[in-house]
Structure formats: C-alpha cells, structure tokens
Amino acid sequence: MWIAFSATFKRQLITMRRAYPWSFFIGHILDGVYITIFAYLSYHFIFQGQLNTQFVSYTGTSDYLSYVIMGGVFNSFAVSLLMIVSRMLINEMREGTLEALLLTPSSRLGYFLGAAIQGLMRSGIEWLAIICVGLFFGLNLVAAHLALLLPIMIVLCFALFAQALVLGGFMLAFRDTYITQNTLFVIMTLVSGVSFPPQFLPDWIQGLSLIMPLYYGLELMRSVMTHAAPSSDILYHLLSLSTLGILYFAIGLLFMKRMEKSVLEKHFG
Amino acid sequence: MMKMLTICQAEMRKSHRHNFNNRLIYFSMFLWPIIQFINAYYAFKPFNLGQNSPLSRFVPVNKLGLFLITGCIAYIFFWSLVQSAWMMGYERQQGTLELILLTPASRTLIMFSRAAANLIEAVWMFSIFAILTIFFMGGLHIAHWWLLPFAVMVLLLSAVVWGGFLNTIFLFSRDAGFLYTLFEAPMEFFSGVRMPIMAFPIWAKVIAFVFPLTFVLTILRAIVMDGKTLGSICIPLIELAIILIALTAASFILVRYAEKHAKETGNLTFF
C-alpha cells in the first residue's frame, strides 16, 4: 500500500506543478469568496443587520456573517477534495492509462490515499485563501478550542474521502464527471447548511442533510472555530460523522471494485 | 436570413446529437436550476422578512419569489450560453473547429447561430417550470399583454448576442475553463439575479453594468412586476441596445482577428 501511496503522491505532485488546470483552483477559491461577498452585501446593504429570530434559535448565534463565511470556506474545501479523489479513475480512463493501472498488483486504497493527501495540499491552500478573504468580511474566529480542531478535521477529511469513493463509482458507471459531480454539489450546498440552517427547509429535503458529511463537518467546525463555548452536540456530531464515513468507505470500496470490473468488461472487451 | 436559418438548423442538430445521447443532460437542464432557485429563496430566510423588513425598500417581500424566479430564468438563458461557449474549446481539441472554418459559411453567423441553437435546446425545460411557478405564485402585474412576448424577445435577442460574443472570445482561448470560471459566477452575482442591484455599493454597481444581463433583468422585472409601460422603460432599452450593438460589432472584428491569428500560428487543432 505504501508504494502505491508514495508513487501516486509523487505523480500528482508533479502533475500539480506542471500540468494542473489552475481554473479549478481559482474556481474553488472564487466560489467561496462569492458566497462571502454575497452574504456581506445581503447582511449590511439589504437587511441592515436585521435577522430572523428563528435563525438565532436554530444556530445558537447571531453572528450571521461568520456562519455563512464558514459555510463558504468548508463547502469549497469539500467540493475540492471530492473532485480530486473521485475523478482519479475516470481521468485514467480518459488518458488511456486505466488498463495499465488495473493490470498492476498495486493497492487501490494506497492509490486513492496518495491522491487525497496530495490533493489536501491544494485544497488547504484554497481553504486558507478563502479564510483570509473571510476575515476582511466579518469572519470572527476564536482560538479557544484549537485542540479539538485537528481530530475533527481528520474525521471530516476521512468522511469526505469515503464519499468521494462512492462518487467516483458513479462517475465510472455513468462515464461522466461534469453532470455527476455537479448534481451532488448543488444538492450538498442546499441541504448541508452552507448559507442557511437546514431547519428552514421542508422536512423531506432536510432529511438529506443527514447523509452529507459536510453537514456534520460544518456543525463541528462552526462549534470549535466560531463559538466561544462549544456546542453540547459536539460528541454526537463527531460520532455521526465517523459512522457516516465508515459507511461510505465500505460502500465506496465495494462499488469501486464492481465498477472497475464492469469497466474492464465493457471498455476493454 | 436563410443562411442563418440553415446554419442554425445544422448547429441545432449537431448540439442535439452531441448532448442528448446521455440522459444525464436533463439534470443540468432541469434539476440544477430548480435546486439553485430553491437555494436562492432559502438564502433569504435567515433575515427579517416581516412586514417591516428592510428588503421592502427595494422589493416587496411578498414578491420575493417572483423577483427570484425572473432572475433565475433570465440567468439560465445567459448561463446556458456561457456553457455552450465553453464547449467551443472541445471543437478545437477534437479538430472540428478547423473544419467549421473551412466551410464557406460566414464566421460571425456561425457564432451567433451556434448560440441561438444551443439556447433553445438548453432553456425550454426550465422555462416551462418557471412559467408554471409564476402562475402558481401569482403577483404578475403587466400593463399590456403584448409586453410579455416583447420581454421574452428582448431576453432571447440579448442572450444570443451575448452568446455569440462569448463564442468569439472562446475562439482565442486555450484554457476555456478559466474563462468560464471568470464569466459565470460574477454574472450571476453582480447582475442582480438574486439581489436588487439598487442595494449594491457603488463599486458593485459599476461591475453590474458591464453585464447586459443587468439591463435585461431591469427591463424584464419592470414589465412583469411593476406593470411599467414601454415609454417608461425606454432608457434601459436604449442602454441595452447600445451594449448589444457594441457587442455585435466587437464579435465581427474579433472573429476575423481570431481566424487570422489562428492561420498565422497554426493552432486551430492544437489545445
């Protein structure tokens, strides 16, 4: 597993330096920045800081700007990580290297982990850039729970990595990246509490937030990065996120294996 | 005119064969715009939307749904053309751009026909949804019935001119994805699709007036929401006409320059 991991990591690093489509990189940063500016203009220029009382009761804070900017920051991070991992195999297929990859006895998990860890470097830069812009537009960070930040980040990355495996399986099944990934992203942005608490949505749509790692990730990150006192639900959300991650991981590995077989049969005859 | 219709028909057949071999296309044509509309609507929920809401300085709170759906429908018209222009990059990669330019058809006509053909294919589904939603929500206030088809014609014409211009710009591009990123989100954001531009600070208003969509939305909303007559919207109509003429002239010049540049560098089939 280690050899596949380090080889993929190195290859992805070279690709990033030499041939990465930087439009993705700038696009992810801009997506987060636009959510931030939209929230800032809406809050100050249209609504003059007047919030709905339900917003405060659902979120436990009256700091709307921090709520939405955190949403924009982690939405971009999630989209970026999901895209990096899920598009790996279909890109190999498009570039004509999938057959060679499938013929090697290398560990598939090591391959995906190598791509994910290298991808985290890029997503991390995007994440930092959006946070820096957010600080100018009213993001208030607290440094009271830094010790909690690392374990939460690790669990969130694992859950997103696992979700990306399932997404990648769908991409191979549909032979498509653009529509498959963006359909997930528009639904994820709607139900995960990016720019408003999901409790505002009708119950039947709200239920979808429970299968989105981003929803739990946002609840946890807001709790430790922007609230002075962490929410009592922190353990519940952390457990839910871990369980969801393990579930996606199991489904993703099985689905991916099945799709690889199907691609071999259909694509390479 | 007949030439344009022939090119338009050919482009429509091409785009239909290219895009509709995969049923997933219905997700991007129908599901995404609906979800984006719902998202835009609920993004206002955290704010005070009561009777004393500050929003009512710009839009009556009970007409927020109508405000957003008119914004969404006009945006979809323009967005589908940014997307079709983005596909111009694939013509280059697949080697078909050179073949298109070898035909005796007028280059500028190809650019505008391509935009018109893709537009009708891309927007009909969401348009039906939007019309049904508008009738369901109510709140339409139109001075004369004929202003409605007039507004649709203004929207169609502006979208085609904008699309033709973008197709021309994308002729130069080697990384079309980057231009797509630069054009798509700011257009949605600054044109007043989801927010009244009157509420913007000066710097944002300046950016807003770069996009023809801003003027189209002002005219569309004045007709369907405020019941304005043709006489009272003549100023934004003239402003829009000037922008459209400028864009058409720029397309004519740029398409010739792009072809000349491509002939010199021989990069028509290279990415």
- Greatest mean pLDDT among A120-124, B79-83, B143-147: A120-124
Best of B21, B37, B38, B48 to mutate (most A CBs within 10 Å, chain A) = B48
ipTM above 0.90, yes or no: no
Q: Please report, rounded to a whole number, the percentage of residues in chain B having pLDDT higher than 90.
A: 9
Indicate the residue of B22, B35, B175 with minimum beta-carbon distance to A190. B35
Q: What is the mean pLDDT of chain B?
A: 81
Test A183 with B39 for CB contact under 8 angstroms: no
pLDDT tens profile B172-223: 766 666 667 777 777 887 888 888 888 888 888 888 888 889 999 999 988 8
Side-chain-side CA neighbours of A191 within 13 Å: the count stands at 19
Q: Is B93 on the interface with A (CB under 8 A)?
A: no
pTM comes to 0.86
Test B36 with A183 for CB contact under 8 angstroms: no
Q: Residues 52 to 81 of B: which have CB under 8 A from any A CB?
A: 53-55, 58
The tens-digit pLDDT sequence of chain A (269 residues) is 788 889 888 988 888 777 766 677 787 788 788 888 888 988 998 888 899 889 989 988 889 999 999 998 999 899 989 998 998 888 888 888 888 888 888 888 888 899 899 888 888 888 899 999 999 998 888 766 778 888 999 999 999 999 999 999 999 888 888 888 989 999 999 999 999 999 999 999 999 999 999 999 999 999 888 876 666 788 899 999 999 999 999 999 999 889 888 887 876 65
Neighbours of A263 (CB within 10 A): 19
* pLDDT at residue A35, as a whole number: 82
> What are the extents of the domains in chain B?
65-265
pLDDT tens profile B6-37: 887 887 788 777 766 667 777 777 888 889 88
- State the SS3 of chain A: CHHHHHHHHHHHHHHHHHHCCHHHHHHHHHHHHHHHHHHHHHHHHHCCCCECHHHHHHHCCCCHHHHHHHHHHHHHHHHHHHHHHHCHHHHHHHHCCHHHHHHCCCCHHHHHHHHHHHHHHHHHHHHHHHHHHHHHCCCCCCCCCHHHHHHHHHHHHHHHHHHHHHHHHHHHHHCCCHHHHHHHHHHHHHHCCCCCCHHHCCHHHHHHHHHCHHHHHHHHHHHHHCCCCCCCCHHHHHHHHHHHHHHHHHHHHHHHHHHHHHHHHHHCC
Q: Is B135 on the interface with A (CB under 8 A)?
A: no
